[in-house]
Chain A
Amino acid sequence: MNVPAAWYLVVATLLFGIGAFGLLTRRSALIMFMCLELMLNAVNLTFVTFSRTMSDIAGQASVFFVMVVAAAEVTVGLGIVVAVFRRRSSTSVDDLTELKG
């Protein structure tokens, strides 16, 4: 089955939009994380799509890097989220304003 590249890109755009919308509207740090992952993977999808259409392996290589960095980021981020939750029994990012100017 040969799906046109445009379809993949549409899916990627939809995923990115959902992620961005969630990131902007939700307060829970955990949900925002998930939205962030959604956006990252949307970008990964475009990378892979273009890698295939242009027959350039560099795009797929980039995806690996993004996945590795995302994994590391999630590890650290979740650690912070857990630490914050232990302190204040809430993960609402709107309450975390101690560092405001």
Chain B
Amino acid sequence: MAQTATLLLLLPLVGYLLVLMMGPVLKEKVIGAIATGVVAVSFILAVITFFMVLHRSNREVTIHLFNWISVGSLHVPAALLVDPLSITMCLFVTGISALIHLYSVGYMHGEKDFRKFFLYLNLFVFSMLVLVLANNLLMTFVGWEGVGVCSYWLVSYYFTRDKAASAGKKAFLYNRVGDFGLLIAMFLLFHHTHTLNYVGIFHVAGTLSPTVATLTVLALLLAATGKSAQIPLFNWLPDAMEGPTPVSALIHAATMVTAGVYLLVRMSPVLTMSPDGRATIAIIGGLTAFVAATIATSQQDIKKVLAFSTVSQIGYMVLAVGVGAYSAAIFLMVAHAFYKALLFLSAGSVIHSLDGEQDLKKMGGLAKYLPITFPALMVGWLAIIGIPPFSGFFAKGDVLTNVFAHNKFLWALGVVTAILTAYYMTRLYVLTFRGTERFREEKDRHDPHESPWVMTLPLVVLSVLAIVGGIIDLPWAHVSSLAGFLNPVFGYVPAVAAASTTEQWVLAAVDVVAALIGLAAAFTIWRDLTVGERFESKFLENVWYWDDAYDATIGRPLTEVAVFSDTIVEPKVIDGAVTGVGVVIRNSAEGLRKIQSGFVRQYALAMVMGFAVIIVYLVARVH
């Protein structure tokens, strides 16, 4: 098992190095085959490892690779922790990565930097696996930074476009704020537990004082808000849509952005120690889910709608973590990875068919032109709004049932968000596939065409997963389900036990009704574009003026300080001090040089006089 787990981690790195060193001489097809192949093999190894874990009684295996850092009392090995949580993550990360690699071969066909794209993509998968499989916080941090930098490179992939370049920077800087939280959490934990190993921390987590636990949880939450795009650091994700669509699907929907949730779930024994910290997490998650859903209702760009939908869905996951429903969070994470990757890839296929058009108002009536993309996006749409028996229904239902048992207000907020989710997703569906063919208003537009098989095959596979994904954790099969598999990791009784079967049925019915309300509202409103536009608001389209608020409170004051430094501090104070010293020396030299008259006898007189003064002084002192 040690070999398969190590190999599954290293294969994407091997792919990266192969493409890096042999890339220039290889053809596009070979590069695509190598990059996709290594990730696919990695996925097969993950499946094998999964079954190995499944058949073990002790499902927590540490694989020691080598000693990495050993300084004083700090010992950090490079080691892997294979347990139900990490292997679940590995399965869907490698699986979806493989599909999206395959899709990218078609999507990126003919791009100038085809090789660069796959380099970063492979490196990303490697970093993500390091993050997930690490057995200590520091190694997780390496993966955490690795996925961050790959995200930066891939967002700014079209770096000649100003918007893409600055979107990359924005993503990087927002993530930096979050990284600060992770560092603080590591410092706190090392100070109080003297170890960074997960298992070591978990063993002594019970001895942490409530204050320390709360501080650590809040620091971890800050890290999660950065990486997983939650309030107050969610603004970078919509901008990150400047990257190619497969990147949006893989990094900014399915895998990397869920890393924050993974971190919180991983640290669940510490979270358990701090009810206050978890309450904060739940509130942040609930608020983010709601705010992002409202914003998604008024976005014009198909990818931005999906981006805010991602923020909203991750808000649900964070909410689930906050109420202690860790397995529900992971369940939603996996289901979300299926249907959100599907939605993004379908959207990419739509954009591809319209030669790069992303404005929803310039689509419409595409159903008959895209025989595979159309049903695929439809499956994603039904899955995300939670229509049974699609995966989203079970996953979101699991989360909301747990929240209901914990806090009625947050549950109500979650249901309102579900209505909004159904509304904006239906709006997206209607604007894309129904109505008149508005794309014909553009000049020289030829008929949309369906994408090649490398792009449609992942769509089909993901559609199937999005439909049946719910079976991994059906509410009535608790022992042999994902929750039963994961729960030993948390050492925690899931809150769902508190809800009776009747309650669960009622809550499920409420979810479905919520979805249907949103769906019906959107169908009614968006039948006519002019009616629909009245329901859009500038406030929501401009993201609650959140960016402008940051600009006013942080950006502009800092700019003022910078300008002040540039115009006052630098030239007057610093330059003034430096030139001041020079001026003083030059002026005194101007005066002193007059003494050098060139008359030798004058010097001699000065010496004699000086000598006389010394003599007089000495004589006077003696007496």
Contacts and interface: CB of A to CB of B under 8 A. Distances in A.
A55 interface: no
Contacts of B598: 96-101
B601 A94 contact: yes
A20 interface: yes
A20 B601 contact: no
Contact of A97 (B594, B595, B597, B605): B597
A23 interface: yes
A93 interface: yes
B604 A97 contact: no
A101 B608 contact: no
Nearest to A23: B604
Contacts of B594: 101
B604 A101 contact: no
A72 B596 CA distance: 27
Nearest to B597: A100
B601 A24 contact: yes
Contacts of A20: 608
Given A20-B608, A24-B608, A101 B601 contact: no
A24 B605 contact: yes
Interface residues of A, number: 14
Nearest to B600: A93
B596 A96 contact: no
Contacts of A99: 596, 598
Contacts, number: 37
Contacts of A101: 592-598
Nearest to B605: A24
Interface string B505-531: 000000000000000000000000000
A25 B593 CA distance: 24
Contacts of A100: 596-599
Nearest to B604: A23
A99 to B, nearest CB: 6
Contacts of A27: 601
Nearest to B592: A101
- Residue of A23, A25, A99 with most partner-chain B CB within 10 A: A23
A38 to B, nearest CB: 14
Interface in A61-101: 93-94, 96-101
Interface string B284-298: 000000000000000
B601 A93 contact: yes
11 contacts: A20-B608, A24-B601, A93-B599, A96-B600, A97-B598, A97-B599, A99-B596, A99-B598, A100-B596, A101-B593, A101-B595
Interface of B: 592-601, 604-605, 608
